[in-house]
Amino acid sequence: MKKDADYFIKHLALEQHPEGGYYKSSFTADETIDAFGTTRKLYTNIYFLLKSGDVSHFHRLKSDEVWYYHGGSSLTIHIIDEEGNYREVKLGLNLDAGEQPQAIVRKNSIFGSSVMEPGTFSLVGCMVSPGFDFEDFELFTQKELLALYPKYESVIRKLAYKNL
């Protein structure tokens, strides 16, 4: 029996994420660290599922985030780094096609993700260190990003919210 997105959403008890897709916290460090003028967990982990046709909207974190491929179709992570350079990372297991099973998005990068293959989904894991807190989470509108990065208009229109 082929497992679809709804199977994983149900069995992993995933909830809708504000940036798009579905998620659930899976592991959190017991240890804490002083970061950003407050105390954060040393690391946090989530499952994240994105269906094709949906996107994870452009957002930014104050921490590094490591992505791990678990299953389904490959996932494209779209990244605008702190220097304003755009790149795509293909998360998956087809190494011959340039995919990689894990990737890192450096802190303060603006990033989002998408699944290219129609009618599919991608299930990944994400580890954030210092640990994720919604206080450190920033979403962007098309207007905000187009003012900063007009040369990336097509991907910004695809992955940034029109309005928040």
157 falls within a domain: no
Q: Are 49 and 8 in contact (CB under 8 A)?
A: yes
First-to-last CA distance in the chain?
40
Alpha carbons 67 and 56: distance in angstroms, whole number: 13
The count of domains in the chain is 1
Residue 62 belongs to a domain: yes
User: Does pTM top 0.75 for this prediction?
Assistant: yes
User: 149 in a domain, yes or no?
Assistant: no
- With respect to residue 153, please indicate whether it lies within any of the assigned structural domains: no
In a domain, 107, yes or no: yes
Instruction: Indicate which CATH number applies to the domain containing 46.
Output: 2.60.120.10
Domain that holds residue 28: 5-134
Q: What is the pLDDT along the chain (164 residues), one digit of tens a residue?
A: 679 999 999 999 999 998 899 999 999 999 999 999 999 999 999 999 999 989 999 999 999 999 999 999 999 999 999 999 999 999 999 999 999 999 999 999 999 999 989 999 999 999 999 999 989 999 999 999 999 999 999 999 999 999 86
Decide if 72 is inside a domain: yes
Residue 125 is assigned to a structural domain of this protein: yes
With respect to residue 130, please indicate whether it lies within any of the assigned structural domains: yes
